């Protein structure tokens, strides 16, 4: 099995029908936009994962349909297929909307298996008028009612027992406990099977009020996946990290947000069955109000650089908004420094920045380089940065040289951002950036609308690995190895033997 830089990862499922691969890809894009943890896709041979989609999955696992339970009942076997020690299973019809998932990974450690839900003892549940009937028949202390779009589990004996018990209920009591979906190819509703197993084994759910996941049931909706904002409903308003779009409703919200994601990642647009047109507000280049609003669009917890630091004001905003694991601050701070009408001694500004971030420097999060941008670039290996922000020389030649110097230092799938994308005062940033975008595999994904605009270029990925005609159990390195999408991960196409 693959060796990952983290023991944590996401797993999703696409079996039976091709459109589930498209849904799973949308989910993967929403995760990759916000989180560095790897994503695995489990699918059967009845669906094809296109080469254009494969790069967005760190592991693609193919199993014969005969070795999986029908439809969504394959969830009962997830522990057997997950490549991670700690797994968040997310249904393919979900999207990660907010970037705060790290707090849940920390809180869930030590849970053998858990879901988002609550404990009930009375009242209607599933096909039962009163859940007490189910509880009495199976001898349970209570029932766990939950959202089947999410499940967390670990590779532990306690989790193995929970999966085994859920499968036992499937084999022995599924017609009592559960029911077939209206589309029989989806199999049985697995929620009562896991809920009963958790109740029997004393495993507790994560309360919905924690805002880990909610179903998108009630509007009005204020959801923006790229900006990381989510709030909807009334009494109460909810703000979950993951939104579960059951039956892809509300359709207009799901179609709009996934179209935006696909344009951001330069993937072909895809409309779910029953959707007629791409929404007009799925803009090709995202517009944000100001320079600081660029930062939430960049990967969190990555390796970043700011080229052109001055007094470190924007550096502080980077640390607060993007939380980089390491931030390189690059500026020559020459004898005389002038910016925005402020003039002073370079030594003073350098000392100001060092003093401002001394604790972070001591902790290794911030590294200060007093040198020119092009000289600093020579000291970094290729594919080192998740993103860089260029705000040094605003002339055409200066920006052109910075783009050329840092382009190879940014990982495939990473970002080159910058400031002063404006044609005033003889600045040459617009000309340099536009020429660079025409001659290199990058595309413009965002612009700010303030007077001195900021921009984001996204570095395109290499083509994903082709699906082998005769799958081998030997691991293959992913095209994304060492990128913001796949930091050091090995891809494992896998097929069961008969």
Residue 183: the pLDDT is: 78
- Pick from 421, 388, 419: nearest CA to 406: 388
Which residue carries 């993937």 as its tokens?
A: 267
Residue 482: the pLDDT is: 36
Residue 477: the pLDDT is: 33
Residue 339: the pLDDT is: 65
Residues, the chain, total? 498
Distance of CA 31 to the CA centre of its chain: 1
User: Domains in the chain, please, with CATH?
Assistant: 8-264 (3.90.550.10), 298-459 (3.40.50.150)
| Bridge partners, 447 (sequence order) | 287, 455
Q: What are phi and psi of 289, to 5 degrees?
A: -65, -45
165 touches 199 (CB < 8 A): no
The pTM assigned to this predicted structure is 0.85
307 touches 394 (CB < 8 A): no
* Nearest-angstrom CA–CA distance, 413 and 32: 10
* Nearest-angstrom CA–CA distance, 56 and 254: 19
Tens-binned pLDDT, residue by residue, of the chain (498 aa): 444 556 999 999 999 899 999 999 999 999 999 888 999 999 999 999 999 999 999 999 998 888 888 777 899 999 999 999 999 999 999 999 998 998 999 999 989 999 999 999 999 999 999 999 999 999 999 999 999 999 999 999 999 999 999 999 999 999 999 998 877 778 899 999 999 999 999 999 999 999 999 999 888 999 999 999 999 998 789 999 999 999 999 999 999 999 999 999 999 999 998 887 767 666 789 999 999 999 999 988 899 999 999 989 999 999 999 999 999 999 998 877 666 556 768 789 899 999 999 999 999 999 999 999 999 999 999 999 999 999 998 899 999 999 999 999 999 999 999 999 998 878 999 999 999 999 999 999 999 999 999 999 999 886 443 333 333 333 333 333 333 333 333 344 433 333
H or E element at residue 199 = helix 191-201
Q: What are phi and psi of 410, to 5 degrees?
A: -95, 140
63 touches 42 (CB < 8 A): yes
* Nearest-angstrom CA–CA distance, 203 and 144: 9
> Which letter, b or e, does each residue of 234-252 get, where b requires 16 or more Cβ atoms within 10 Å of its Cβ?
eeeebbbbbbbbeebebee
Residue 192: the pLDDT is: 97
Supply the DSSP string of 52-63, one letter for each residue.
Answer: TTGGG-SEEEEE
Residue 425: the pLDDT is: 77
């Amino acid at each position: 099995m693959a060796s990952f830089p983290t023991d944590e990862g996401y797993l999703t499922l696409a079996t039976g029908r091709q459109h589930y691969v498209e849904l799973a890809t949308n989910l993967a894009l929403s995760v990759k936009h916000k989180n560095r943890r790897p994503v695995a896709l489990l699918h059967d041979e009845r669906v094809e994962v296109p080469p254009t989609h494969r790069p967005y999955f760190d592991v693609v696992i193919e199993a014969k349909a005969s070795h999986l339970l029908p439809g969504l009942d394959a969830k009962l076997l997830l522990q057997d297929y997950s490549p991670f020690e700690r797994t968040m299973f997310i249904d393919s019809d979900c999207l990660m909307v907010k970037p705060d998932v790290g707090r849940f990974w920390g809180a869930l450690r030590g849970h053998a298996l858990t879901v988002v839900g609550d404990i009930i003892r009375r009242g209607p549940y599933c096909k039962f008028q009163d859940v007490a009937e189910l509880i009495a028949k199976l001898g349970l202390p209570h029932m766990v009612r939950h959202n089947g779009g999410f499940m967390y589990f670990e590779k532990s004996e306690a989790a193995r027992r929970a999966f085994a018990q859920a499968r036992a209920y499937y084999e022995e009591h599924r017609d009592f406990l559960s029911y077939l979906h209206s589309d029989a190819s989806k199999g049985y509703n697995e929620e009562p099977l896991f809920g009963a197993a958790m109740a029997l084994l004393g495993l507790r759910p994560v309360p919905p009020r924690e805002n880990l996941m909610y179903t998108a049931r009630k509007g009005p909706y204020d959801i923006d996946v790229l900006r990381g904002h989510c709030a909807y409903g009334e009494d109460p308003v909810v703000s979950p990290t993951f939104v579960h779009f059951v039956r892809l409703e509300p359709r207009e919200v799901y179609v709009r947000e996934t179209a935006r994601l696909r344009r951001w990642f330069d993937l072909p647009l895809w409309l779910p069955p029953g959707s007629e047109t791409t929404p007009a507000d799925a803009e090709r280049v995202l517009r944000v109000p100001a320079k600081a609003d660029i930062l939430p669009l960049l990967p969190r917890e990555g390796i970043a650089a700011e080229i052109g630091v001055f007094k470190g004001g924007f550096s502080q905003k980077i640390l607060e908004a993007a939380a980089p694991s390491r931030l390189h601050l690059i500026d020559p701070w020459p004898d005389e420094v002038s910016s925005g009408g402020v003039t002073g001694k370079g030594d003073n500004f350098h000392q100001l920045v060092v003093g401002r971030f001394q604790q972070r420097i001591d902790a290794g999060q911030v590294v200060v380089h007093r040198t020119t941008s092009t000289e600093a670039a020579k000291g970094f290996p290729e594919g080192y940065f998740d993103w860089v922000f260029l705000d040094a020389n605003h002339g055409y030649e200066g920006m052109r040289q910075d783009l050329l110097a840092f382009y190879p230092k940014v990982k495939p799938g990473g970002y080159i951002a910058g400031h002063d994308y404006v044609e005033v005062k003889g600045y040459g940033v617009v000309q340099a950036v536009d020429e660079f975008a025409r001659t290199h595999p990058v595309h413009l994904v965002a612009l700010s609308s303030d007077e001195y605009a900021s921009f984001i270029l996204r570095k395109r990925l290499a083509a994903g690995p082709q699906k082998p005609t005769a799958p081998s159990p030997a691991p293959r390195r992913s095209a994304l190895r060492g990128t913001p999408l796949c930091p050091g991960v090995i891809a494992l196409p896998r097929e069961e033997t008969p």
